[in-house]
Structure formats: structure tokens, C-alpha cells
């Protein structure tokens, strides 16, 4: 359910994503140039259909090529660790994940913009050349975040030899390896978040049992304690810092 809402919300935030991308790339003039150029270029019905079809795949690209998966998984695990079912709501977690993703991906997106989109807007390269040049910064980012064992696993499943150079890596194999690494890292962070709250649950359950208060649900006592602890340590801020800085 959360994945479906993430897909829908990502699609709705497409315009916000593009606008923020333009500001992060410091390209307000180029963004207006983008509009003036492409309004004149996209005139045929076939071009419009192709453009709309390409835009419909953008949510999949955001999930598979950025840190969005890591962010949404960690935030979801944090909510479960607190013992909260629907607070914060899914829409809040998704929007927060989107903007954390935007902040962390801003340098990479700026490099991709300068390498591919800017020359394309200036009519210096064609669409194929712009796509290849814009893919390089994103590819380099994904390689840095991908564990070698995950990349080797994907190539072993495909029964292909692992290339020694980054240029030889296939996007079809790099993307699933990157997502596996993101999921692994997200669950590692989630495990560290779960530990202190699990200890609180165990302590509260032991105290209630020793007092003979078997009929009192432990969550009734532990939930306020966990929320208080989370607020005292500025939990949301620490999690945001962890997600944005864990990009070694």
C-alpha cells in the first residue's frame, strides 16, 4: 500500500521536482530557455505522446536511480519502531522522503544537468549524446553507493562477467544492484533505530509482569515513553542527518 502511494505521490510531485531541480542547478534562465525551445519543438501529436509516455516513467526512475528507496524505508521503519500505525501519515513520509532525496541528489543532478541538458538546450549535442553524457554523473553516484557483492551477484545471476571499468557496467544490471544496496543500508539503519525502542518495550513488559499487571498492554506505557525519548534526542533531525550524510 505504501509503495502504491509512493508511486502516485511521486508522479504528482513531478512539477515540484523539476522546479526544485532547476533552482538547485542554478539555471533559472536555462529553465525558461527549456520552455521556449521545447514548446516550439513539440508540435506533432507523436512527439506529445512520446513525451507523456516518458514522463510516466519518471516515478520509476526516481525510485530506482536515487536515494528515495532508502529514505522511505528508513522513515517507515522508524514509525514502526515507535509503535505508531498511521502517524505520521504515509503522505507525510513520502513528501519528506522526496525532499530528502532532492537535497542528497542535488550535486549529482546539477552535474547531470551541466553535462547533458545544458549542451542539449544550446544545440551543441543531440538527444542521444545528451542522454549518454547526463547518465555518467548518475552512474558514478550509483557505483559509489553500490556494494561490490551486490553488483557481483547481479552479474552472476545474468551469467555475465563483471566489467573492470565503470564504462562497461550495464544500466540494466547496475540499477538492481544499486537498489539491493539501498535496501540493505536502509534495513541496517532501521535495525539501529529499532534497538533502543525494543529495549524500552522489554523493560516496560518486565516491570508490568513483576507488578502483576498482566492485563495492562505494555504498549500503553511504552508508547509515551518512546515518543518522549524520540523528542528529547530530536529523532527526526538525527534520522534526516543520517540519511543525508550517509553517502560515502
Tens of pLDDT, residues 171-229: 888 888 999 999 999 999 989 988 888 888 888 888 888 887 777 777 778 888 888 88
With contact defined as beta carbons under 8 Å apart, do 190 and 74 qualify?
yes
Domain-embedded: residue 49? yes
Sign of CA dihedral 95, 99, 104, 107: positive
d(CA 127, CA 133): 10
Distance between CA atoms of residues 43 and 185, nearest Å: 45
The percentage of the chain sitting over the pLDDT mark of 70, rounded to a whole number, equals 78
In this structure, is residue 11 part of a structural domain?
yes
User: How many domains does one find in the chain?
Assistant: 1
Domain encompassing residue 48:
1-19+39-59
Q: Which of 50, 54, 68 is nearest to 7 (CA)?
A: 68
Q: How far apart are CA 18 and CA 37, in angstroms?
A: 16
- Please, what sign has the CA dihedral across residues 36, 41, 44, 47? negative
pLDDT of residue 172: 87
Whether 210 maps to a domain, the answer reads no
Burial class (CB in 10 A: 0-12, 13-18, 19+), 59: buried
Go through the chain and tell me how many residues it has. 248
Q: Is residue 9 part of a domain?
A: yes
**What does the block give as the cell for 98?**
522526496
pLDDT of 45 reads: 65
Specify if 96 maps to a domain.
no
DSSP readout, 133-177?
A: HHHHHHHHHHHHHS-HHHHHHHHHHTT-PPPSSGGG--HHHHHHH
Spans of the chain, pLDDT less than 50: 1-42
Q: pLDDT value at position 111?
A: 86
Cell matching residue 80: 514502526
With respect to residue 46, please indicate whether it lies within any of the assigned structural domains: yes
Assess if residue 12 is contained within a domain.
yes
At 66, give phi and psi (nearest 5°). -125, -175
Compute how many other C-beta atoms are within 10 angstroms of the C-beta atom of residue 98. 22
* CA 127 distance to own-chain centroid: 26
Closest by CA to 67, choosing from 14, 141, 130, is 141
What pLDDT score was predicted for residue 49? 67
Per the domain annotation, does 79 fall within a domain? Answer: no
Amino acid at each position: 500500500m505504501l509503495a502504491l502511494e509512493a508511486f502516485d505521490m511521486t508522479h504528482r510531485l513531478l512539477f515540484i521536482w523539476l522546479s526544485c531541480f532547476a533552482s538547485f542547478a542554478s539555471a533559472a534562465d536555462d529553465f525558461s530557455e527549456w520552455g521556449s525551445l521545447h514548446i516550439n519543438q513539440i508540435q506533432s501529436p507523436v512527439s506529445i505522446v512520446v513525451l507523456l509516455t516518458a514522463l510516466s516513467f519518471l516515478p520509476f526512475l526516481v525510485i530506482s536511480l536515487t536515494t528515495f528507496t532508502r529514505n522511505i524505508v528508513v522513515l517507515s521503519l522508524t514509525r514502526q519502531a515507535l509503535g505508531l500505525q498511521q502517524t505520521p501519515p504515509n503522505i507525510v513520509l513520502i513528501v519528506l522522503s522526496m525532499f530528502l532525496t532532492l537535497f542528497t541528489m542535488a550535486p549529482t543532478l546539477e552535474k547531470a544537468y551541466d553535462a547533458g541538458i545544458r549542451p542539449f538546450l544550446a544545440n551543441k549535442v543531440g538527444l542521444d549524446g545528451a542522454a549518454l553524457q547526463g547518465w555518467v554523473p548518475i552512474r558514478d553516484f550509483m557505483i559509489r553507493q553500490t556494494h561490490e557483492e551486490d553488483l557481483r551477484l547481479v552479474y552472476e545471476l545474468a551469467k555475465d562477467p563483471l566489467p573492470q571499468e565503470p564504462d562497461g557496467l550495464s544500466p540494466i544490471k547496475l540499477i538492481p544492484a544499486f537498489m539491493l544496496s539501498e535496501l540493505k543500508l536502509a534495513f541496517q539503519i532501521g535495525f539501529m533505530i529499532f534497538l533502543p525502542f525494543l529495549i524500552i518495550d522489554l523493560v516496560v513488559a518486565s516491570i508490568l509482569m513483576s507488578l502483576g499487571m498482566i492485563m495492562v498492554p505494555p504498549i500503553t506505557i511504552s508508547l509515551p515513553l518512546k515518543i518522549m525519548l524520540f523528542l528529547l534526542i530530536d529523532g527526526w533531525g538525527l534520522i534526516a542527518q543520517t540519511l543525508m550524510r550517509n553517502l560515502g
